[in-house]
Amino acid sequence: MPAKLLEGKSVALKIKENIKLEIEALKNKYGVCPKLVSVQAGENSASEIYIKSQEKIAKDLGINYELKKLDAGIKQDEFIKAIDALNRDKSVNGIIIQMPLPQHIDAKIISRYVSPLKDIEAVHPQNMGELVFGKAKILPCTAAACMELLNSIESLELYGKEAVVVGHSEIVGKPLALLLLNKFVTTTVCHIATGQRGTLPDFIKKAEIVIVAVGKAGLVKGDWIKEGAIVIDVGINRVEGKIAGDVEFDKAAEKASYITPVPGGIGPLTVAILMRNVVEAFKQQQAK
């Protein structure tokens, strides 16, 4: 396998060390630590694991963590009231809404009710807008994780590079395309219609950087990868009891210069960036 592995763990470790130092300094200056509140409606086994890991990482870093459990049958307007109470609570610096929400609650609408100052997932339209202008300080976690992995490649000069992002979701593909554009990367975004038209291989074959965030195992074939390309696979799929990405790893690794393993690539970084956003939100709120 000629490709070097782009593992998120070591980059995440550096981010977490910086967060710890920053929290120490903030605690000395303001006498309090940042606080993150996680809102969950109903029970869900997948999000339980995620919540436990978030809580552990937050506490290790010195961030106060509270889980606010709401009833699965809560009405949407009651849910919004609960968020509004957290928005007004000065001791709360960051709010995260755990997905999936019960079916009768519209997740996209709910996200708009989190104060942009406490929106540590950066899904509020105001924070998305800041991204368009290249001014965002709180960045969408997974998209920012991809940028951190690219920045960890010392020899890489992003300016003028050609990238293909596969997937155009609001939380990964679209914000990632903006982050790449802000670094003067010539960026093409492929989506379902590219797949349907059958031109996905044509775009990928030319790309120096390929980032795939779709959620379809083996969607990107290894022999589509350009010699020496950098491949970041965001996808998480369960295949025969194992976790796999969206890219045919073994074959892609024969051609790429760098490639993320799945699991172990983007995953460990996403939560570190979430915590960095809590600290950033805390700082912005103190400056108000």
In Å, how far are 117, 166, 243 from 169, measured between CA atoms? Answer: 22, 10, 21
Closer to ligand NAP by CB, 42 or 218: give it: 218
User: For ligand NAP, which stretch binds (CB under 6 A), given 63-71, 92-100, 127-135, 208-216?
Assistant: 208-216
Q: Tell me: does residue 215 bind ligand NAP (CB under 6 A).
A: yes
The tokens for 119 are 């929106």
CB of 125 to ligand NAP, least distance (A): 17
SS3 for 36? strand
Mark the segment that binds ligand NAP (CB under 6 A) among 65-73, 74-82, 160-168, 272-280: 160-168
Question: Between residues 70 and 247, which has the closer beta carbon with respect to ligand NAP?
Answer: 247
* Residues facing residue 190 across a β-bridge: 166
101 binds ligand NAP (CB under 6 A): no
Contacts of 96 (CB under 8 A, 6+ apart): 36, 37, 38, 39, 54, 120, 121, 274
Tell me the C-alpha distance between 205 and 203, whole Å: 6
- Is 116 or 268 the residue whose CB approaches ligand NAP more closely? 268
Distances (CA, A) of 161 to 68, 139, 188, 209: 44, 22, 11, 8
Contact between 191 and ligand NAP by CB under 6 A: the answer reads: yes
Distance CA 244, CA 233 (A): 10
Q: Residue 152's CB: how many other CB atoms inside 10 A?
A: 16
Closest CB to ligand NAP among residues 117, 179: 179
Size of the site for ligand NAP (CB under 6 A): 25
Q: Does 68 bind ligand NAP (CB under 6 A)?
A: no
The answer to whether 214 contacts ligand NAP (rule: CB under 6 A) is yes
Would you count residue 234 as binding ligand NAP (CB under 6 A)?
yes
How many angstroms separate the CA atoms of 14 and 22, rounded? 12
Nearer to ligand NAP, 117 or 143 (CB): 143
* Contact stretch for ligand NAP (CB under 6 A) within 12-20, 82-90, 156-164, 169-177: 169-177
Beta bridge partners of 166: 190, 212
CB of 166 to ligand NAP, least distance (A): 5
Nearer Cβ to ligand NAP (83/172)? 172
Q: How far is the CB of 30 from ligand NAP (least distance, A)?
A: 31
- Cβ distance to ligand NAP smaller for residue 61 or 212: 212
* Contact status: 175 vs ligand NAP (CB under 6 A): no
Residue 255 binding ligand NAP, by CB under 6 A: no
The answer to whether 158 touches 182, Cβ cutoff 8 Å, is: no
Q: Where are the alpha helices (DSSP H) in the chain?
A: 8-30, 45-61, 76-88, 107-111, 125-132, 141-151, 173-182, 192-197, 200-206, 249-255, 267-287
* Residues of this chain, 134-153, that bind ligand NAP according to CB under 6 A: 142
Strand partners of residue 223:
none
Amino acid at 139: L
Which residues are near ligand NAP by CB under 6 A? 142, 166-169, 171-173, 190-192, 194-195, 200, 213-216, 219, 234-236, 266-267, 270
